[in-house]
Amino acid sequence: MTRVSKDLGAMVLTALALAVLAATDRGWGVPLVGASHRWAAVAVLLLGMAACSLGSARSGAGAWMLGAIGAVSLVLAVAAVVTGSLAALTLAVAAFVALWVGSTLRHMLAVTRTPHATA
């Protein structure tokens, strides 16, 4: 998979997490989620794990910062599963979105720094 396809996949998963949050917050009665904040948190946790699997292993200050955001997102999602708190779920999704934005920007900056080969 190319970096662009991984970023697009992560974007779709992030959008799904936002849709799950909206569905549970508005009580849309979506199958699996319904109005249950706990089931929504489980769904968001699984979507986050799937998006994380699309990431790349790198080092540096950016990787540490993204790792910290990912850890915060994980803790908040688990707290939302345990407590059923909409606030914890909302913060978990916000961290998830921040993680996606940060990793996408990092990939874009890495592409602009890579010298292009000339034929």
Do the beta carbons of residue 54 and residue 87 sit within 8 Å? no
CA 28-34-36 angle, to 5 degrees, is 120
Task: Report the 10 Å Cβ neighbour count for 62.
Answer: 15
Q: How far apart are CA 68 and CA 103, in angstroms?
A: 12
The pLDDT tens digits along the chain (119 residues) read: 787 888 899 999 999 999 999 999 998 888 888 888 999 999 999 999 999 888 766 767 778 888 899 999 999 999 999 999 999 999 999 999 999 999 888 878 876 655 555 54
